[in-house]
Every structure is written in structure tokens, then in C-alpha cells.
């Protein structure tokens, strides 16, 4: 009950600010020194910017409501996300700010206590392309705007996945009917992690390769649950790969350039953990390709 | 100006041996007070002009950490200018050109050796445009024009810096 009353108070304050705001569709550089609410204070007034998670089902006047829609304090539905920024309860957008020490000093120094710097942007309308107004702001408290899920998406964006290096056996030209062993280099297939943090919350996203989809160029596709097994010298050349292989039945003589394009897409499952929570978010993919010629074995013999 | 003239008379009045001085020549052989005041006003105006020039230069990058900004601004003024440049950076914006400023002194206190000067200006941003950094294309709309600006310039240890300012709407002067 207390919590609801608190949320209502914040909404009322927010509404007042917005009502007082001038039309700030865009501005020159001087205009951008003015706060979105029309005031001229450094750091502006962001006491209302922390309601992004107040989304109780009864709060339909700002922030995120029970339908998981984001609204301006006036009630207009706005996108919950703009780029990597998320809508706060004041209808402005917040993303974690990465500020230099000089910048922080100029902004008045690092405030004491828990909190974080955020880039705040407020838009007068809902039209795309509008510049908006805002700037870096300090929001006290433990990551008031960003949920672990949001941080997870940021960590996901920081993941650097390796390029796909294809290893075929036999290397080079393939022979019709002879098993082709499909594999990607070990460097293309191992876990990667990245972390995104704001004061009080740190989330690590981990990408794990789970599946390789091979498009062989001859109209067939092969799905492998692993990186495949590289053929080792000494093994039987007529044996098929134990886990990821293909057998060409037609030569590539009639394909464009007399070669097939073999393309592999590695699917990465992305999980995240942090702030005592964990989950899965949209996966990632990496691809690689190589051109291979497939010859009739008889033709090879005559060569 | 009336304040400055009054100050000169007051000084002259205290010096009974001095011949009748003309207010129009306060610097010639006059006590240090008027020149201190004039110096303060000159330096305050230089800091004000310097701040916007520095902001225009930093805006081309944009670089919120440009040292020139710290040379001409402090406190709230510095925070707002730096914050604006951070905003520009985060939104992929740069500025080109520079504003035209021509401030005049409203007041200087204390009168005998000012440490704070209030300025008023009708700044013109017509030639200070905003562009997308990625493409160089000017943003649209890109409203510009004359703004009524007031600023407080303060001296600390002899260094004059803009400590706060207030900008009016486009067309406010």
C-alpha cells in the first residue's frame, strides 16, 4: 500500500514537470543546455526518472504498466526501448553512461553512496528522428532504471564471437561419393563471456555454441550438434565422420564457377546471470563459407 | 556605466589634493580602483566569449573533456556545457561554426575590486549548426537564432570563469 502511494506521488510530480515543459522538439547547442523540463540546472531534475520499474498494475499513468507497455506520464504509449535505452517513469529514456573522470569532475564529482550515471534523453513527441533533450544524470540507489535483463542485453552486445574457420576433410577438392568430414576449427567453437555493470548490479552474458548448420551448395543441408570431428591422417578415408559429414552425389562441374559454396552458420545460445537471477536471451549467429570443387572420382583417376 | 562614473567621482572626492578630474579619463594617473574594475570587466567578457568559443570547438568532436572548457567555466556553467557535449556525443551529434556573442556588463561587485561580474548578451546561433556525426548531414529541423543570455562570471585566485548562465528562447532578443 505504501508502495502504491509512493508511486502515485512520483507520477503526480512528473506530470507537473511535463506540463511545465516547453516544446523541445529540437534545439541549437544553447538550447541543449536547457533541461528537458525547461529549467536551467546542472543535472536537471531526475527525481522522477526512477519509476521505470514501478510498473504496478494500477499505475497506468507513467512508466511500464501491467500490459508491459510503456507510457508517458500523460498516458501516451511510447516504445519501452529506444536503441539501448529504456523508458523511465517520467517518459524519458535512460541508458548507462560511461563517463571519464574529467567529465564526472565537471558534473560536480561522483556523488557519495550507491547509484549510477545514466544518459537521459527526453522527447517532446513520439516521432522518430527527433533529437530530444537531456544529458548525463546521476541516479542514486541500486540500479534504479536497469533491470538485470536490460544489463544482460548490454552484455550480449559486448560479446565478441570468433569468426568461423571451416575445416573440410579431405581438404581442398572433394570427391563424389567419398565422405566429406565437416568441422569448424576449435577456435570457432568455444564459450565466450562479457559483462555489463552499473553500480550495484553486474550481469554476465555467456554465449555457447550449440549448433552448426551446413549448407553444402548441392541443395542439401546438414545440421550438427557440435563442431564436427576433424579427419586425422591415418584414419580410413572411406569412413564417414562420426558426427558431422556429407556425401556429395554430384560433381560441381555444372555449378557456377564449377564449385559449390559451403556455408556454415554456428548458432550460439546466450544465457545470462547476475543480481541473483539468470535467464536466456536471444541467441547469436556466426557464419563462414568456403568454395569447394567436387569431382567425379573417375575424373580424378584420369587426371 | 553610471556606476563606473560614480566610482571615479568617489575616489577623486577622497583625494583633496587632486585637481578636478574628468570622469572620461579615469585611467590616467588615477588610483587603482577604476582600472581594477575595468580589468575585471574585460576579463569577465573574455571568459564569457571564450567559453562559447571553446564549446563550439569542443562541439565539433564532440569532446566534453576539452581543457579549454575548464579554462573558461566552472561550477554549474561547466557542468551544463560538459553535460550538453556528452549528450551530443551519445546522440551522434556534432556542431559546426560558432555563435556570435557581444556581452555587456550589467554589474560588477564589489565595486572597488570586483570578483563577480554579471553580463547580458544577445547571442546569435545562426552560424552554429548541428549535424549528424556519421554523415555530416545537418539535422532537421535545426532551429537557430538570437537568445537573451545572462551570465555570472567570477574570479577565483585571479582566474575569471563563467560560473552560471541562463539562456532564453530563440527570438528572446
- Model confidence at B4: pLDDT above 60: no
Do A157 and A298 fall within a single domain? yes
Mean pLDDT of B133-148: 94
Task: Please identify, among A93, A113, A145, the residue that sits at the C-terminal boundary of a domain.
Answer: A145
pLDDT per residue over A10-23, tens digit each?
322 233 333 333 44
pLDDT category, A49, cuts 50, 70, 90?
A: very low
Beta carbons of A97 and B86 less than 8 Å apart: yes
Do A246 and A127 fall within a single domain? no
Beta carbons of B99 and A29 less than 8 Å apart: yes
Grid coordinates of A278: 539468470
Whole-angstrom Cα distance, residue B31 to residue A5? 66
Pairwise pLDDT comparison (A246 vs A142), residue with the higher score: A246
Kindly list the residues from chain B whose CB atom is less than 8 angstroms away from the CB atom of residue A41.
76
Do A189 and A128 fall within a single domain? no
pLDDT per residue over B26-43, tens digit each?
444 445 567 888 999 999
Do A138 and A241 fall within a single domain? no
Least CB-CB distance to A33: which of B81, B128, B145?
B81
Task: Please identify, among A145, A174, A197, the residue that sits at the C-terminal boundary of a domain.
Answer: A145
Beta carbons of A28 and B139 less than 8 Å apart: no
Do A124 and A200 fall within a single domain? no
Pairwise pLDDT comparison (B61 vs A114), residue with the higher score: B61
Do A134 and A220 fall within a single domain? no
pLDDT per residue over A131-155, tens digit each?
788 999 988 765 545 667 777 887 8
Element (H, E) at B121: strand B116-124
pLDDT at A92: 84
pLDDT at A195: 86
pLDDT per residue over A178-191, tens digit each?
899 999 999 999 99
Do A20 and A133 fall within a single domain? yes
- Does the structure's ipTM exceed the value 0.95? no
pLDDT per residue over A54-86, tens digit each?
322 222 234 443 344 566 777 777 777 777 787
pLDDT per residue over B102-133, tens digit each?
999 999 999 889 999 999 999 999 999 999 99
pLDDT per residue over A91-132, tens digit each?
788 888 888 889 999 999 988 877 788 899 988 765 555 778
pLDDT at B84: 96
Do A124 and A242 fall within a single domain? no
Give the residue numbers in A contacting B (CB under 8 Å), as ranges: 22, 25-34, 40-43, 95, 97, 99-100, 102-103, 106-108, 119, 121, 131-136
pLDDT per residue over A253-299, tens digit each?
999 999 999 999 999 999 998 877 788 888 899 999 999 999 886 54
Beta carbons of A28 and B56 less than 8 Å apart: no
pLDDT category, B93, cuts 50, 70, 90?
A: very high
Do A20 and A68 fall within a single domain? yes
Split into its structural domains, chain A has a count of 2
pLDDT at A127: 53
Mean pLDDT of B153-163: 93
Pairwise pLDDT comparison (A6 vs B25), residue with the higher score: B25
Q: Which of A22, A32, A84 is the best mutation test for B, with the most CBs of B within 10 A?
A: A32
Task: Please identify, among A96, A122, A145, the residue that sits at the C-terminal boundary of a domain.
Answer: A145
How far the first Cα of chain B sits from its last, in Å, is: 21
* CA distance to partner chain A, nearest, from residue B65 (Å): 6
Whole-angstrom Cα distance, residue A136 to residue B79? 10
pLDDT at B76: 95
pLDDT at A150: 74
Instruction: Of A303, A296, A181, give the one whose Cα is nearest residue A235.
Output: A181
Do A123 and A262 fall within a single domain? no
Least CB-CB distance to A29: which of B64, B125, B149?
B125
* CA distance to partner chain A, nearest, from residue B101 (Å): 12
Do A171 and A275 fall within a single domain? yes
Kindly list the residues from chain B whose CB atom is less than 8 angstroms away from the CB atom of residue A82.
none
Do A105 and A209 fall within a single domain? no
pTM: 0.56
Domain containing A179 — which CATH number?
A: 2.60.40.10
Could you list the residue range(s) of the whole structural domain that residue A141 is in? 2-145
- Model confidence at A217: pLDDT above 90: yes
pLDDT category, B16, cuts 50, 70, 90?
A: very low
Amino acid at each position: 500500500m505504501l508502495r502504491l502511494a509512493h508511486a502515485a506521488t512520483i507520477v503526480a510530480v512528473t506530470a507537473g514537470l511535463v506540463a511545465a515543459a516547453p516544446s523541445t522538439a529540437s534545439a541549437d547547442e544553447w538550447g541543449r543546455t536547457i533541461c528537458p523540463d525547461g529549467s536551467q540546472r546542472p543535472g536537471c531534475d531526475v527525481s522522477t526518472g526512477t519509476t521505470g520499474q514501478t510498473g504496478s498494475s494500477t499505475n497506468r499513468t507513467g512508466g511500464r504498466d501491467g500490459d508491459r507497455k510503456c507510457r508517458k506520464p500523460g498516458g501516451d504509449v511510447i516504445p519501452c526501448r529506444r536503441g539501448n535505452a529504456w523508458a523511465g517513469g517520467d517518459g524519458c529514456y535512460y541508458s548507462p553512461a560511461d563517463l571519464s573522470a574529467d567529465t564526472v569532475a565537471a558534473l560536480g564529482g561522483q556523488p557519495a553512496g550507491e547509484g549510477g550515471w545514466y544518459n537521459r534523453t527526453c522527447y517532446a513527441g513520439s516521432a522518430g528522428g527527433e533529437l530530444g533533450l537531456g544529458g548525463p544524470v546521476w541516479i542514486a540507489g541500486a540500479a534504479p532504471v536497469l533491470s538485470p535483463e536490460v544489463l544482460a542485453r548490454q552484455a550480449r552486445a559486448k560479446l565478441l564471437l570468433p569468426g568461423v574457420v571451416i575445416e573440410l576433410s579431405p581438404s581442398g577438392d572433394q570427391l563424389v561419393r567419398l565422405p566429406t568430414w565437416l568441422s569448424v576449427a576449435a577456435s570457432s567453437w568455444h564459450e565466450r563471456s562479457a559483462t555489463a555493470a552499473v553500480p550495484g548490479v553486474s550481469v554476465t552474458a555467456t554465449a555457447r555454441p550449440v549448433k552448426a548448420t551446413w549448407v553444402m551448395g548441392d541443395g542439401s543441408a546438414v545440421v550438427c550438434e557440435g563442431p564436427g570431428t576433424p579427419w586425422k591422417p591415418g584414419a580410413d578415408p572411406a569412413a564417414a565422420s562420426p558426427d558431422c559429414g556429407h556425401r556429395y552425389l554430384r560433381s560441381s562441374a555444372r555449378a557456377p564457377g564449377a564449385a559449390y559454396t559451403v556455408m556454415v552458420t554456428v548458432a550460439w545460445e546466450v544465457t545470462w546471470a547476475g543480481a541473483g537471477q539468470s535467464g536466456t536471451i536471444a541467441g547469436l549467429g556466426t557464419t563462414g563459407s568456403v568454395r569447394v570443387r567436387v569431382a567425379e572420382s573417375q575424373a580424378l583417376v584420369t587426371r | 556605466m553610471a556606476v563606473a562614473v560614480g566610482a571615479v567621482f568617489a575616489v577623486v572626492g577622497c583625494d583633496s589634493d587632486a585637481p578636478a578630474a574628468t570622469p572620461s579619463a579615469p585611467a590616467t594617473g588615477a588610483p587603482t580602483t577604476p582600472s581594477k574594475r575595468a580589468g575585471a570587466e574585460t576579463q569577465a567578457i573574455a571568459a564569457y566569449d571564450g567559453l562559447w568559443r571553446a564549446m563550439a570547438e569542443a562541439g565539433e568532436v564532440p569532446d566534453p573533456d576539452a581543457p579549454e572548457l575548464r579554462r573558461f567555466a566552472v561550477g554549474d556553467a561547466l557542468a551544463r556545457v560538459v553535460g550538453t557535449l556528452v549528450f551530443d556525443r551519445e546522440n551522434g551529434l556534432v556542431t559546426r561554426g560558432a555563435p556570435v556573442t557581444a556581452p555587456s556588463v550589467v554589474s560588477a561587485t564589489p565595486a572597488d575590486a570586483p570578483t563577480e561580474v554579471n553580463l547580458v548578451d544577445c547571442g546569435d546561433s545562426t552560424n552554429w549548426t548541428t549535424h549528424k556525426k556519421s554523415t555530416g548531414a545537418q539535422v532537421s529541423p535545426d532551429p537557430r537564432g538570437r537568445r537573451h543570455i545572462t551570465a555570472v562570471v567570477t574570479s577565483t585566485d585571479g582566474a575569471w570563469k563563467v560560473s552560471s548562465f541562463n539562456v532564453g528562447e530563440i527570438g528572446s532578443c
